[in-house]
Amino acid sequence: MANISIKYKNKLLITLILICYICFLPELPAQKTESKFRIARVKYSGGGDWYNDQTSEPNLLNFIAKNTNLPIDPVYEFVDLASDNLFAYPLIYLTGHGNVNFTNTEADKLRSYLENGGFLYIDDDYGLDEFIRKEMKKVFPDQDFAELPYTHGIYSCHFKFPKGLPKVHEHNNKPPQGFGLFYSGRLCVFYTYESNLGDGWVDPDIYKDPQEIRDAAFKMGTNVVVWALTN
């Protein structure tokens, strides 16, 4: 084992953690547990376009499959927060441009998911910020989003981002920022603002971003997944 590279050890650790997560998922009624990692898009009410850019997750998952040892199923799926199916996913993804609304039941279920090891990644696709901050207060009333320093492990757990988040699309001439919410000291919600990683994951002909921008978005997305599965 002494000759095995650190990167290989990290890949092996990620695989083992995913297997353990799947093996110890709670048995839920009428739920089929899959052996491959998937990301579920959060379906929410309020009028925001939660469903936009549906090539994002499959493209990101394909990139992760090529750069880690994770068993991957590169599909697009969505999940209702009020459903017990929520607990089948170690990581869920929320994005959009506008209003978000959680019912009390959805907020309670999301909190339970996060407290029991789940991870939520939120990407502001522009116009989401004021709404998601309000709705996440329903989930963790005693917390506000805290900006993560560039030294936080999510920026270096697989690919290195010493200056923090990459800038994929310009919105309001603001620097990209990464925020977090925590449970028992564990980062359980990661929120990217003025970065727009998800737009960098879509098929290249949609936004026609330079390849180096797309690569940065994929690498940071990989970090989010690696961090969620190893912490």
Query: What's the rounded mean pLDDT across residues 180-187?
Result: 98
Cα 95 to the chain's mean position, in Å? Answer: 10
How far is Cα 135 from Cα 154, in angstroms, rounded to an integer?
Answer: 24
Query: What's the rounded mean pLDDT across residues 17-32?
Result: 40
For residue 46, CA distances in Å to 32, 99, 101, 106, 107 come to: 30, 5, 5, 13, 14
Q: What is the pLDDT of residues 95-133, one digit of tens each?
A: 999 999 999 999 999 999 999 999 999 999 999 999 999
Q: What is the pLDDT of residues 147-158, one digit of tens each?
A: 999 999 999 999
Q: What is the pLDDT of residues 201-216, one digit of tens each?
A: 999 999 999 999 999 9
Q: Is the pLDDT of residue 188 over 80?
A: yes
- Pick the closest to residue 50 from 9, 1, 92, 111 (CA basis): 92
> Tokens 């990101």, residue?
60
Q: Looking at residue 35, what is its pLDDT?
A: 77
Q: Which fold has domain 6-23+32-230?
A: Rossmann fold (3.40.50)
Alpha-helical segments (H) within 3-141: 6-23, 56-67, 104-115, 129-139
For residue 145, CA distances in Å to 66, 73, 140 come to: 32, 31, 10
Computed over every residue of the chain, the mean pLDDT equals 89
Residue 25's pLDDT band, with cuts at 50, 70 and 90, is very low
Q: How many helices (H) and strands (E) does the chain have?
A: 7, 7
Q: Which helix (H) or strand (E) holds 220?
A: helix 211-230
- Pick the closest to residue 138 from 179, 109, 116 (CA basis): 109
What end-to-end distance do the CA atoms of the chain give, in Å?
23
Query: What's the rounded mean pLDDT across residues 51-58?
Result: 97
> Tokens 């879509």, residue?
202
pTM of the full predicted structure? 0.86
